[in-house]
Structure 1
Amino acid sequence: MTNYTKPQYLMSKDIPVVKITGFFVEVLRPDLLPLAIRNPEVDFDSIYHGWIGTRVMSMGRSNAEKIMDGLRLPRSNTYAAAASMHFASLSDCYWIRQEAEDISWAEVSLYRADISEDVAETSLFGKKQMFHGHIHTPEPSTAGLSAKAWYRDANQKLWLYKIGKKEVAASKILDAIGADHVPYLDASNELHQRTEEEQIRKIDERNEELVKCPIITSEQRSMVTWYDYEEHCNDENINPYTRIKQNPKYHEMQVCDYLLSNSDRHGENWGFFIDADTGKLGDLHPLFDHDHAFSEDTKIIAQTTEHDMSLKQAALQSLPCAKRLNLNTIRTMQRPEELTEEQWMGVQQRAKVLMRERVKQCEEKR
């Protein structure tokens, strides 16, 4: 557990960024502060009641209670689970070190850690079990509410596994139109390798599948959410949309979310890459997380625009800046087998709306 009475450090790999003594904060490397708290007035509350809160598993997440039970921790203390991993994450290279600890980034990094397959099985499939020995694994710090877990393949590459099948269909559609996105693959052939018959039967009963996608961060390239970027811009008194509106990928996201009828593009589901060594902000990362796609709601409100508007309005407004997307392919593409006929008809209908608008905008320019 964290001891507030003794000095501790917010670290970026092996570089001390902030020294915390009691409730006093001394910034050592302002250029490497996490973006959400990168301001001259960063204080104890900003770090421990703000930033660290984003690195703690929500008890609203599927199977969170079973993870806490398996770790032998009170269900009310997800903070303790994250603290036992030094608040490390697979989103970036930050962690918390007690001054008295003789420990390095190499020992803390989740990018290098052995994955606990027992924890992963509980996190992903809900298996009730106790975890024995030293546990150092990403699950207690992985964001989101759906069931998910990390595994390594034969080449030691990290993959995020989830239960569902909409993301595979979304991935096929985004592939077809040329959108920048994280590919999701059907991993159902790995079910018997990952869990037992009881869990497999429950997945079959829910008509779901096992899917996976590759990790997009590394020890060189971190990820920062839109929420964090927005917080940073607010501290700097900058309109966060000023920069983003110049980026074609931002406009492509609006079009893609309308095409997929994605109702869950909140501020933790999109954002930027950031250089883990310099702290410099990079480009928007690829689109991911489409397990709330293909909604039947025709009046979804856009969550990614400066002003209130629907997904459809946002897409039509962004269409002139999303020229790289080849929407024509939807007309000739076969229905993804993961979608019902009704869901696929919805995609085709939205594609027609976008194509008609594109033709109209081209004619108006003549």
Structure 2
Amino acid sequence: MGLANYILMNKNTPVLAFEYDMEQHKATRITRTECLEAAPIGIHDRRGEITKSEINYWWAARAIPASRAQIDRLLENLNLASTLVLAEKSFGLSLSDRYWLNNEDDPKTWEEINFFDNDFTDDLGFLTLGQDSSGSSPDAPDYANINLSSPNSTLGGDLLKKWKIVGGKRILLKAGVGFVNQEPYNEVAATELHSRLMNAGEYLPYTLFEDGRRVYSACENMLEPDEELIAAWDVIRNVKQPNNLSELQFYVKRCVDLGLDAHEVMTQLAKMFVCDYILANRDRHYRNFGIIRNVETLEVTRLAPVFDTGSCLWSNVELLEVPADFLYKAKPFKYGGMKPIDQVRLFDGYFDWFTSDALDGYTDSLHEILSKNPNIPERRIKTVVDEVEERIGVIRRVMR
């Protein structure tokens, strides 16, 4: 298959050019640089340079992870060796940013190939969401003629998910896992809580969406025109943390260095982690919160709205019968994790936004939302609701 000559693009701006090995699926040599300021944040090494290895790290992270459920079956059915092949066939395009790979030997334009403005089929999304897991769905695409040009080729994470065009809008659908398919309902429960404690625009609203025979969570794309999402991991990656700063202080400093206000950053993080505590979100990590940058001005304009809260309310625990079933470690901002309430206390002094009355009746709403799931027994719902009520009580005491 040989070498390809690619240009890493940020929308219409060339960042750098490199040779790409089509068999190894990686860059072999940087051939020239163009506008390095438009490069992905986090791709520079500790010396501030962009190297071949950093390009390959970024590119490998862009593909569907090998840990995604049913991914081996998908690759086998498509006769592909790697999920990177899927990314190659879609120019590396995503609906989370504006980066893509332009082939110098067959150049394209952003306007003709991007998925924000151009339609895409549901072929690949049908498979990445696991809707053909039975192998007998009447809606399954013909593997011999499937259209692989899709933003689902660069959709990260282990959960089954896909982008779908609904009424002209780009909608992200996510499946639940395990025995009760609880995660989609958790996202709706999180939205109800966020709407009580946050302002519009500070959180991403989720709804339930039926597609085929299953219920998924659904949300619209959080990005406005010319915006990109930058994960918190990329904000701090390859930047040395000073010894006198905690992990939280270091992250806030990096946000300030990129143009955001420290008080606003701390306040918005406080809101997110208070809600995460109430919901027992066990999976908040550096890749599912972050900041938003304008790709034309290269200005960081705001914090990303809170998203991806489905792994909460003990959805990974089957019985919820003993105290240990309710325990988990909160991940940021301490190596090895910490007690969830200790994570909340990191934001002491930034709780002026909290109104206790906003939580009145929340557990009634939570019960109503979870009761829509026919797979969750009433006993489990009551256990979850009672535990959340206790957590609300803890938050009210901490906020006094």
TM-score category (smaller protein):
0.7 to 0.9
Give the match for residue 6 of structure 2: 8
Give the match for residue 390 of structure 2: 349
Q: Contact 2:121–2:147 (CA<8 Å) still a contact in 1?
A: no
Give the match for residue 374 of structure 2: none
Q: Contact 1:113–1:137 (CA<8 Å) still a contact in 2?
A: no
Give identity over the alignment, percent.
Answer: 21
Give the aligned residue type for 1:158: R
Q: Contact 1:92–1:219 (CA<8 Å) still a contact in 2?
A: no
Distance 1:288 1:227 in 2: 15
Give the aligned residue type for 2:190: A
Give the match for residue 331 of structure 2: 303
Distance 1:137 1:47 in 2: 22
Query: Residues 233 and 243 of structure 1: is their aligned pair in 2 closer, same or farther, counting only changes over 3 Å?
Result: same
Distance 1:17 1:243 in 2: 23
1:1-366 paired onto structure 2 within 5 Å: 4=3, 6-21=4-19, 22-38=28-44, 40-48=48-56, 50-74=57-81, 77-127=82-132, 128=135, 129=140, 130-131=142-143, 132=145, 134-154=147-167, 156-163=168-175, 164-178=184-198, 180-188=202-210, 191=211, 195=212, 200=213, 203=214, 209-234=215-240, 239-243=250-254, 246=263, 247=265, 248-295=267-314, 297-306=325-334, 308-333=337-362, 334-336=364-366, 337-339=368-370, 340-359=381-400
Distance 1:303 1:315 in 2: 12
1:185-225 residue CA offsets vs partner (Å, 9 max, x unmatched) = 1223xx3xxx3xxxx2xx4xxxxx32211111244110011
1:98-128 residue CA offsets vs partner (Å, 9 max, x unmatched) = 2111311123312123232232222224314
- Displacement of 1:332: 2.6
Distance 1:327 1:25 in 2: 58
Q: How many correspondences in the alignment?
A: 337
Give the aligned residue type for 1:51: W
- Displacement of 1:352: 0.8
Q: Secondary structure at the match of 2:66?
A: coil
Distance 2:221 2:60 in 1: 22
Q: Which deviates more from structure 2 when the two are superposed, residues 60-69 or residues 253-262?
A: 60-69
Distance 2:58 2:253 in 1: 24
Give 5+ residue unaligned stretches, structure 1: 204-208, 360-366
1:300-330 residue CA offsets vs partner (Å, 9 max, x unmatched) = 3222215653211111332531322334322
Higher helix share: 1
Distance 2:220 2:131 in 1: 22
Alignment TM-score, normalising by the size of structure 1: 0.84
Q: Contact 2:124–2:146 (CA<8 Å) still a contact in 1?
A: no
Distance 1:338 1:167 in 2: 10
Q: Secondary structure at the match of 2:163?
A: strand
1:64-122 residue CA offsets vs partner (Å, 9 max, x unmatched) = 23443453323xx1111111111111111111112111311123312123232232222
Distance 1:107 1:260 in 2: 43
Q: Secondary structure at the match of 2:101?
A: strand
Give 5+ residue unaligned stretches, structure 2: 20-27, 176-183, 256-261, 315-319, 371-380
Q: Secondary structure at the match of 2:97?
A: coil
Q: Which deviates more from structure 2 when the two are superposed, residues 335-344 or residues 348-357?
A: 335-344
Give the aligned residue type for 2:78: L
Alignment TM-score, normalising by the size of structure 2: 0.77
- Displacement of 1:228: 0.7
Give the aligned residue type for 1:167: E
Give the aligned residue type for 1:80: V
